[in-house]
Structures are given as C-alpha cells and as structure tokens.
Amino acid sequence: MDQPGEPRRMTLRAILAPYDKTGLVELARELQQLGVEMFATGNTFRILRDADVAVRPVSDLTGFPEILDGRVKTLHPAVHGGILARRDKPEHLAELRQHGLGTIDIIVGGLYPFQETVARPGVTLQDALENIDIGGPTMLRAAAKNFPHVLPIVDPADYNDLLDALRNDSATLEWRRKLAVKTFQHVATYDTAIASYLRGAEDPFPDNITLAYAKRAELRYGENPHQLAALYRRVDPLMREPEGVVNARQLNGKALSYVNILDADAAWSAACDFREPAVVIVKHMTPCGIAGRDDLSQAFQLAFEGDPISAFGGIIAVNRPVDEELATTVRAARHPTSGQRLFVEIIIAPSFTPGAVERLSKSKDLRILEAPPVRMAERAFEYRGIVGGMLVQEFDRIGGDPQELRVLTKRAPTDTELSDLKFAWLCAK
C-alpha cells in the first residue's frame, strides 16, 4: 500500500460512504479482518454497526456533527486533509500532525441516484436538487487526485480487487491510476447528467456540450476486421425509458457486428417512424422494401417484393410483435430466380411470441432482437461527428401531421391520397 518515499504505517484508514450498498457489509468485514480502521457516514454507519462491524461515525474523525439534514458530513479539513496529503512530502505529514490530523488511505464512495430520481414521472425540481451529491464527489475527486497514495473505489465490482491488493500489498501505481480514471469518469458522467437536466430543452445550442456514454459491449471488430470497435449507450437523464437497438435484447444468433448494428439501427428507426403496422427491409443502411398493412404477413410479402434481390442478407424490422404466422411467412420467402431460402442477418421487433422465436431459431445464425421502440416524437436533436467537431440539428419530424401540408394544386388530394403521400414521405425521409 505504501509508496516509495513515504513512512510505513501499520494501520490503514478508510471512509465508507457508498450510496449503493451492494456487497458493503461483506467488504467491511474483510477490511476489519485486515485491521483497517473504518469510518462511515449516516445510513452506511448504521448498517455496518447493526452488522456488528467495527466502524466509527465520520463525526469522530471531524469532531463535528452532520448538519443541514446531512448535507454537510465530510466537507471538513480532517477528511480532505487526510486524503490530499502527499505521503512522500514530510512537510505535509508534519502539517497534519501539527493540526492533530491523520491520513486516510481508502475512499469507498458512490453518488446519490440523481439519474434514477429525475427519470421518475412527476419528479420535482426540489427532488432533483436533493439528489445532487456534493460530499461524495468531493471525496472521490480528492482521492483520485492523490491516487499514488489513496485508493478511490467507486464501483462494487472493484471490491475484490481492493481486498486482494490489501492482502498481498500489491496496489501497483498502474492499478491505482486506473481506479483514478474510473473515478473521474464516473463523477464527470454524473455532472453531465445534472447539467443536462437543469438545462432541459430551453437552450438547444449551448456554448458547450458534454455528452456521456457508457460501454454496452465490445465488438469483434469494426467496419473492417483490422479495426477495433465497441458499442456505447447514451447516458441522458432526459431519456425516460430505454429505446433503440443499443438497448435491444438478443434472443438468437451470433454476436452483433459493427455493420449489423448500423443496419439494424437504420431499419428499426425507419420502422418506428410509422404509426401503422409496418415492415421495413434494409440492406447496407438503405431501405429496399417498406410496406404497411394490418396483416403483418402481407406487409412483409409486399416489402420483400419491393426488391427481393437486395433483401437477401438484409435486416427485417417490424414495428409490431412478431407472431408465428409472420415467422412462417419469412421462412417461406425464396429468391425469385434461384429459389434459395431467404437469408436474413437480423429480424428486429418490439417482441416475439414463443412460437415465432422457435420457428425463426431454426436458422441458428439469424439474430433475433427485441428492442424498445424509438420514440420519434421525443427525439429533440441528432448529432453527427465530423473531423475535429460535431454537427447538431433538430430532429426531422415533418411529414407526420396532415395539417403541415400545403396544397399547391387546384385539386386537393383525397384522404386516401393523403395517406399514401404521408407513407411515401416517411419512406423517403
């Protein structure tokens, strides 16, 4: 634990203040076995005390009680001096002794659930403000800044690694650096969510934009086999529910590739543009067949007949649940000249009946995806990367409302013609 140049101390000290209590008691018991002196805040202290863990309240460290309904617990020199002191600088350690302070070696933290709070229906501004953590990020940032001497732990998944490092005295500088990076990223994502929520939709083009993403999966490769790639999910407190391919659940088939995800996203976004039941077939991110019918089997057949050659190796998106009848129709489709069974990379829909999954899974490589709908009406902006920058524009929603249309001819279109025009507009969009 001790870095070169710092005096060795037998007893380590830790502050435990995670909001997520997963694995907390087990961690604390192991730390106790290792002789770590532990301090904890509020509810964390009560949980550990009730579990017969030797823990002291942070107020014992600071000599000051929690105040303002717990808003101020750890914002104190006894905490931050102990975290920020460099152990390789004798003058820092002497200054701590002068003020009767000790060093703190481990911070196990976690932040108030701001994003979960603001995602709840009917949340008030005061609810949101009360769930903005101040003390937690401050301690974690301090520990991460002083990572050569202090261990910042922000993820319960790192508890076992922490214990192993303490048992074996193997907390390398490189591992500490990774913990610091993880901590700063965690806090930055948290702050981004707060700024996004408070800004809302009032300022569509602020002077600065910070977007947060969390890794969903590592991919086998990118657009080409020599390119590394990964899939990231947008972290946005204004996104009330998961949506889109990035949140899809795979029911069958091989792992998705980079190109698969691009094609599936194009197909699913197009299918979700339609309010009526619709089937979209996409090849290389371009629709090669779109049809709308209450009978989805008929809709698929019409979409397939739009370009049965290009449909081979394509992606099928259906904006309604897929039943066994539609699955049977898809499996029965054939190439118009060779008679070969239709090869499909992906079929994506909001849900599949068990019978549909069983029938479609006869093609073992077919990727079956259940995806939450893309809520087009709620999409405010779209972003496109360019070299050294990013373009931002309002999402294109025009064409869905007949009231937006202006007739320029002497004869107005009939209701049927208007319906067809609306469908055609969405296809072209």
pLDDT digit string, tens, across residues 251-273: 999 999 999 999 999 999 999 98
CA 317 – CA 260 distance, rounded (Å): 13
Which alpha helices (H) appear in 208-342, and where do they start and end? Answer: 258-272, 296-306, 324-332
pLDDT more than 70, % of the chain: 93
What is the mean predicted confidence (pLDDT) over 278-301?
Answer: 93
User: Which tokens in the block code for residue 263?
Assistant: 């094609």
Which domains occur in the chain, in start order?
Answer: 13-199 (3.40.50.1380), 240-370 (3.40.140.20), 377-428 (no CATH)
Report, in this order, helix, strand and coil percent for the chain, each rounded to 5. Answer: 40, 20, 40
**Does 182 qualify as catalytic in the annotation?**
no
pLDDT the model gives residue 125: 87
Residue 3 has pLDDT above 60, yes or no: no
Residue 241 has pLDDT above 80, yes or no: no
pLDDT the model gives residue 201: 64
Who's near 362: CB < 8 A, 6+ residues apart? 331
**pLDDT bracket for residue 243 (50, 70, 90):** confident
**pLDDT bracket for residue 8 (50, 70, 90):** very low
Lowest-confidence range among 5-9, 85-89, 115-119, 219-223?
A: 5-9
Who's near 246: CB < 8 A, 6+ residues apart? 216, 231, 232, 233, 234, 261, 265
Per the listing, tokens 């829909």 go with 349
**pLDDT bracket for residue 180 (50, 70, 90):** very high
pLDDT the model gives residue 237: 66
Residue 160 has pLDDT above 60, yes or no: yes
Listing DSSP states for 62-112 in one string gives HSS--BTTTTBSS-SHHHHHHHH--TT-HHHHHHHHHTT-----EEEE---
* Alpha-carbon distances of 149 from 12, 103, 205, 349, rounded to whole Å: 11, 10, 41, 51
Half-sphere exposure of 84 (CA within 13 A, CB side): 12
pLDDT more than 90, % of the chain: 52
Lowest-confidence range among 56-60, 66-70, 151-155, 165-169?
A: 66-70
Q: With 0-12 CB in 10 A as exposed, 13-18 as middle and 19+ as buried, what is 352?
A: buried
Residue 52 has pLDDT above 80, yes or no: yes
**Higher pLDDT, residue 74 or 70:** 74
What is the mean predicted confidence (pLDDT) over 193-211?
Answer: 81
Mean pLDDT (the chain) is 88
- For the beta carbon of residue 211, count every other beta carbon within 10 angstroms: 13
| Catalytic pick among 89, 254, 284, 429 | 284
pLDDT the model gives residue 426: 83
**pLDDT bracket for residue 376 (50, 70, 90):** low
Residue 10 has pLDDT above 70, yes or no: no
- For the beta carbon of residue 238, count every other beta carbon within 10 angstroms: 15
What is the mean predicted confidence (pLDDT) over 100-114?
Answer: 90
| Catalytic pick among 92, 145, 182, 335 | 145
What is the mean predicted confidence (pLDDT) over 187-197?
Answer: 88
**Does 145 qualify as catalytic in the annotation?**
yes
CA 351 – CA 376 distance, rounded (Å): 19
**pLDDT bracket for residue 424 (50, 70, 90):** confident
Q: Name beta bridge partners: 317.
A: 280, 348
CA 65 – CA 171 distance, rounded (Å): 33
Residue 235 has pLDDT above 70, yes or no: yes
Residue of 108, 263, 284, 103 whose CA lies nearest to 183? 108
pLDDT the model gives residue 302: 94
**pLDDT bracket for residue 115 (50, 70, 90):** confident
Residue 87 has pLDDT above 70, yes or no: yes
Hey, is 226 helix, strand or coil?
A: coil
pLDDT the model gives residue 60: 87
User: Which tokens in the block code for residue 384?
Assistant: 């496109």
Lowest-confidence range among 28-42, 334-348, 414-428?
A: 414-428
Highest mean pLDDT among 70-74, 128-132, 232-236, 282-286: 282-286
- For the beta carbon of residue 285, count every other beta carbon within 10 angstroms: 14
Residue 188 has pLDDT above 80, yes or no: yes
